[in-house]
Amino acid sequence: MYGLVNKAIQNMVCSRFGEDIWETIKHKAEVNIDAFISMESYPDDVTHRLVYAASLVLEISPQEILQAFGEYWVLYTATEGYGQMLEMAGSDLSEFLHNLDNLHARVGLSFPNLKPPSFECTEMDEDIMQLNYQSTREGLSPMVLGLVKGLGTRFNTEVEIVQTQNRDEGFDHDEFSIRYKKR
pLDDT for position 29? 98
User: Distance between CA 144 and CA 163 in Å, rounded?
Assistant: 9
User: Same structural domain for residues 115 and 178?
Assistant: yes
User: Same structural domain for residues 89 and 148?
Assistant: yes
pLDDT for position 153? 94
Residues 6+ apart with CB under 8 A from 55: 61, 62, 64, 65
pLDDT for position 144? 97
pLDDT for position 171? 93
In which domain, by residue range, is 42 found? 3-60
User: Distance between CA 95 and CA 16 in Å, rounded?
Assistant: 31
Task: Count structural domains, the chain.
Answer: 2
Host H or E run for residue 123: strand 118-125
User: Same structural domain for residues 104 and 156?
Assistant: yes
Residues 6+ apart with CB under 8 A from 179: 127, 128, 159, 160, 161
Is residue 43 domain-resident? yes
Q: In what order do the strands lie in the sheet with 128-134?
A: 118-125, 128-134, 174-182, 157-165
Helix (H, G, I), strand (E, B) or coil at 22: helix
pLDDT for position 111? 84
Query: In a structure prediction context, what are the per-residue pLDDT tens digits for the chain, which is 183 residues long?
Result: 899 999 999 999 999 999 999 999 999 999 999 999 999 999 999 999 999 999 999 999 999 999 999 999 998 988 888 888 889 999 999 999 999 999 999 888 888 888 899 999 999 999 999 999 999 998 899 999 999 999 999 999 999 999 999 998 999 999 999 999 988
